[in-house]
Amino acid sequence: MRAQDLVGQTVNDTYIVLRLLGSGTMGTVLEVRHVRLPRRFAMKVLHSELAEGPEGFARFRREAEIASSLGHPNIVDVVDWNRLPDGTPYLVMEYLVGEDLGQRMARTGPLALPAVLELARQVGSALSAAHKQGVVHRDLKPQNIFLCREDRGEEVVEVAKVVDFGISKILGADGNYTGAMRVMGTPLYMAPEQAMGLAAQVDGRADQFALAAILYHALSGRRPFDGNNVVEIAMKVMTADPVPLRQLVPELPEAVEGAILQALSKDRDRRFATIGDFVRALGAMPTGRTGSTWHLSGRMAPMAGVSSEHLRSDPSGVQVRPVPSGETGELVLPGGVEPLLIRRPLLDERGRSLLALAVIALVAGVISWAAVRAAAGPMRRPVPAVASPPPLQPVVRPPQVPRVRLQFVVHPPTAEVYLEGTRVETEVQVPRGEVGLRLEVRAPGYLTQTDMVVPSSDQRILIRLAPRRR
């Protein structure tokens, strides 16, 4: 049975499937509602072609076990896993409202420095917790960092959550799920040792490299390593130096550039020893700055930020001063490590041999991956990186964009509907696209409901608000 055919059905007498949310490399994601609890979840159903093989199932089960055991506020929470009646495995996760980092950057372009530093702190905290449990993510990329909105009563805050531990490596585990020379992960953000297929050398410093590549992309609007195909990208990861960040972002502090370039060192021994060291070495982070989506103060503005509770329980070593009543907290970093600008030595004979083997392994992996995806059907192409626009210059959009109709049926009928913070009528036309729009429905005496609407086609959306408790 196809996952999308489950819509409208009840799975294992526990989850009512409401709608299809999306599809990825490992599985299809559905929105579900618990039969006995007034709560929504996201259900990931493993693709049928992967469910038939032992490796795909093992990776899927490992994702459930790892995510549920880590228990970190910046890692998606997995609450259950089981099998469909036909034997296909699925896992149940917390339902997140928001967009992934890739969608955010495609929509807004480069992010402001305070936003990037706060993002590094949160994602670094999640990776630090995973590394302490002996888990390396190995596929960190913007699409696996979800920026979700959480309702905290008086305000709605934004939290970064790391998702998809499906190809993670458990250090010291007996099972070898991926093989010693098999390339796993996303080449655009992959560490050189991982691109060369040296699985035994992949540790937490590979995640550090990936995080540095993501921060580079978020600050500059371009990836540190890019190309026309995965082989070309992997070759650049292993042999090419990225353009210095300050050439692309001249106003960037030298300490931030130095820390990111050190974390992007080809030699893993020249990177920082831990993710926490990398976060601290990002330097004198500005505090209390306003005017950006993310804030570095302990108290967050509505719809933009992270709860001070999360800021205070950070395994990466970053601390937050206590927040007196009526004031904001301040993010405090210990003395920064002086970053080193490392120049990579030329490859020796052994390095060239390993490079040749890595390219062969990579090509074989691409062919295998293409065969699997061909059986699974077409896959959406990723959104290309958006070039960094000049300051204050409006984004130029292509003319004659097709539009779709969104019709909202709300209860109570007096409820107000807002799209991206702007009040709209119960029927509205918007440009067609794949980027989610923030939907908010309010009414006096009722709990405000928020969600995301992807305007890919005409839609009729039913929304029933729950009354506030007296």
Residues with a known catalytic role: 139
Instruction: Encode 329-343 in three state secondary structure.
Output: CEEECCCCCCCCCCC
Question: β-strands 27-34, 40-46: how paired?
Answer: antiparallel
CB contact at 8 A, 90 and 98: no
CB contact at 8 A, 320 and 332: yes
Helix, strand, coil shares of the chain as percentages rounded to 5?
Answer: 30, 25, 45
CB contact at 8 A, 452 and 98: yes
What is the number of alpha carbons within 13 Å of residue 296 lying toward its C-beta? 22
| CA angle centred on 258, ends 313 and 140, rounded to 5° | 55
Interacting residues of 273 by C-beta distance below 8 A, sequence separation 6+: none
Q: What is the C-alpha separation between 354 and 16, in angstroms, rounded?
A: 51
Q: Kindly state the helix (H) or strand (E) to which residue 30 belongs, with its residue range.
A: strand 27-34
Name the E strands within 266-351. Answer: 319-320, 331-332
Distances (CA, A) of 331 to 118, 119, 288: 9, 13, 8
Chain mean position to CA 358: 27
Location of structure tokens 């402001």: 112
| 437-442 β-sheet, strand order | 422-424, 416-419, 437-442, 449-453
Chain mean position to CA 179: 26
Chain mean position to CA 440: 23
Chain mean position to CA 316: 18
